[in-house]
Structure 1
Amino acid sequence: MDAILDRLNRLEELIKEQSLSQKEVLNFTEATIYLELSASHLYKLTSSGTIPFYKPNGKKIYFKRSELNEWLLSNRQQTTTEIESIAENFKIKKGGGQS
């Protein structure tokens, strides 16, 4: 009986995840799950204006998935290879071309 309940719980979780992955607008709780952030951290991000969000009636907070994706992918860090390439190009342009 426990095994059946465990499987049902897992199926329920999978259905919720599937439903969440198809929504374009997420509520606050769904956004914490999607972003893998604690509620308090997400509140800090919204109060500081760090993350884009909507308050249509001035109370509940909603998020647009595409904007969350853009936010997640912001502030990209360059790889060591990219930094080395930029430095090499800079040296060539400045006339110090040999390594």
Structure 2
Amino acid sequence: MESNLILQKLNRLEKLLVGAKSIFNVEELADYTGFSKSYIYKLVHSNIIPYSKPNGKTLFFEKSKIDNWLRSNYSKSDTEITEEAENYIFKSQK
């Protein structure tokens, strides 16, 4: 029981350390994003996700580019849309 708890804490620490890196390999990217490795390969094959392949074999992913890619196609909440509409109306009435 105690060894399971230790392993869980070590896994959490490992994931935190991976998140601190600036360049990921496929396995680290899977840990960082929660995507399966097969899904990552599919994204690479379709040129959907930014990656580099400097030696022609190993895939690398720059964290900042992945973060930007993950934030793309942002969908605003109803509250954000309402606030923007109210601000627009308020500015129009001046």
TM-score, length-normalised on structure 2?
A: 0.78
CA-based RMSD: 2.5
Match of 2:49 in 1: 51
Distance 1:15 1:82, change over 3 A: closer
Q: How many residues align?
A: 91
TM score, norm. by length of structure 1: 0.74
Structure 1 runs (4+) greater than 2 angstroms displaced: 78-86
Cα distance, 1:4 vs structure 2: 2.2
Q: Percent identity?
A: 30
Highest CA radius of gyration, 1 or 2? Answer: 1
Query: Aligned partner of 1:76: which letter?
Result: Y
Unaligned runs of 5+ in 1: 94-99
Amino acid in the other structure paired with 1:51: I
